Amino acid sequence: MQNSSLIDAARDFVMAQYQQHPHPELVYHNLEHTLQVVKAAAQIAAHYRLQDEELLAVYVAAWFHDAGYLLGEAGKHEENGATEAVNFLQSQQAPEQIQAMVKGAILATKMPQSPHNLVEQIVCDADLFHLGSKDYADRNKLLRKEVELRTQQEIPGSTWLASNIKFLTAHHYWTDYAQTYTKQQKEENLQKLYKKMEKKTAEAAEKAAATPVAAVTDNAATADAKLPEKNKKKDKDKKPDRGVETMFRITSTNHIRLSSMADSKAHIMISVNSIIISFMLTVLVRRLEDYPNMVLPAVIFLVTSVTTIIFAVLATRPNVTSGTFTAEDINNKNANLLFFGNFYKMKLDEYEWGMRKMMDDADFLYGSMTKDVYHLGVVLAHKYKLLRISYNVFMFGLIASVMGFMIAAIFFPVKA
């Protein structure tokens, strides 16, 4: 009851601060953002069995985590917010342990985030919970507008996109709940950023290609004819543009996501049928002496579950590769150094040599990326083929078993 009162007091205090210290430029780090962080913190904390003091610290830290924007320069808003929170807690005569937890949680949100316990992890994940939500695009626009208002400088769209792709790619949530809950939406948000970047790249290329021919003089043609052989070779060996790299990145990401989905489906089949087998062996088998007419349906059910598990395990079973490559493989461009199975037994200096050879040769590099995507697809097709067999066996076997039990019960009842 006392903790609830303290949380309410923190809420009232922070909301009053936003009213007393208006900052029109804070279109992102405003009261709405704070309310969203508090809501996200409550959602994440509900998944864990926190002590009363820990839950109190999560709520108070969530309310005060951006209060520092109202009290000083933006670069030190975590320190200012932590100080303000401690002063508030002292005025409320809160224990020093609570003060320390709240201060630590707010300071942990400073980029790069550095949480050391579950309370700090929850607050850090709540602060960036929008990265894995459907509101990401809208919140991102507001953040860009706020940065432009604060710096009095316009940020080019391509620059903002590149920085967001880099940040979203490097970011990871700290709590298991946030990782699981936001995984799919966060990946969708990242893919949308890639598509926007690809579109801007294509538009820039089209704009460059649309340069009027009249603007090109005869002198330019003459100068081009006199280019040194070195420059001509450089143009000839020019690496593919960013659109190709984006294509490889998106394709690989999609394959990995589909592989993860296949593994999850296989684990579902293994778990469900393991429970069925356990039930069959511990409960139903004991009753077969009393109901001999149920022996055949029970055997069908048991065989179905075992076969389903076998194919599900085969779908997730890893393949062992040689883990080595030779200098001849590198010189002939036959080795794919992007897959760990082809180099995990090699020495570091040998692997570095191979990677340098590959990075110095654009054809070798992009050829390796093509092979990697291809082999990912082959493995993926094999997984889904086995997984389809597993699901088909389970579906038809389940139907046959149920029909068998019904026929045995109706047409071959046990005589009393």
Read off the pLDDT of residues 75-101 as tens digits, 9 standing for 90 and up: 788 888 888 889 988 888 888 898 899
Closest CA to 336 of 297, 307, 364, 306: 364
pLDDT of 395: 93
Task: Compute the distance between CA of residue 144 and CA of residue 147 in angstroms, rounded to an integer.
Answer: 5
Which residue, chain included where needed, has tokens 């316009």?
154
Q: CA dist 334 to 324, 345, 370, Å?
A: 12, 17, 12
Superfamily of domain 2-194 in the CATH hierarchy? 3'5'-cyclic nucleotide phosphodiesterase, catalytic domain (1.10.1300.10)
Q: Where do the domains of the chain lie?
A: 2-194, 241-416
Closest CA to 66 of 54, 82, 44: 82
pLDDT of 283: 73
Task: Compute the distance between CA of residue 57 and CA of residue 102 in angstroms, rounded to an integer.
Answer: 5
CA triplet 12, 129, 35: central angle to 5 degrees? 15
Query: Across the chain, what does the average pLDDT equal?
Result: 82
pLDDT of 394: 92
Q: CA dist 316 to 103, 263, 308, 378, Å?
A: 45, 6, 13, 14
Closest CA to 164 of 136, 183, 184: 136
Task: Compute the distance between CA of residue 186 and CA of residue 178 in angstroms, rounded to an integer.
Answer: 11
Q: pLDDT band for position 306 (50/70/90)?
A: very high
Read off the pLDDT of residues 54-82 as tens digits, 9 standing for 90 and up: 888 899 999 888 888 888 777 788 888 88
Copy the structure tokens of residue 139: 């919140």
Most confident of 111-120, 200-209, 320-329, 387-396: 387-396
Q: CA dist 279 to 108, 269, 283, 287, 298, Å?
A: 48, 15, 6, 12, 11
Q: pLDDT band for position 216 (50/70/90)?
A: very low
Read off the pLDDT of residues 103-155 as tens digits, 9 standing for 90 and up: 999 999 988 888 889 999 999 999 999 898 888 888 888 898 888 888 888 88
Give the mean pLDDT of 198-220: 62
* Percent of the chain's residues with pLDDT above 70: 89
Closest CA to 312 of 390, 392, 385: 390
Indicate whether 363 pLDDT > 50. Answer: yes
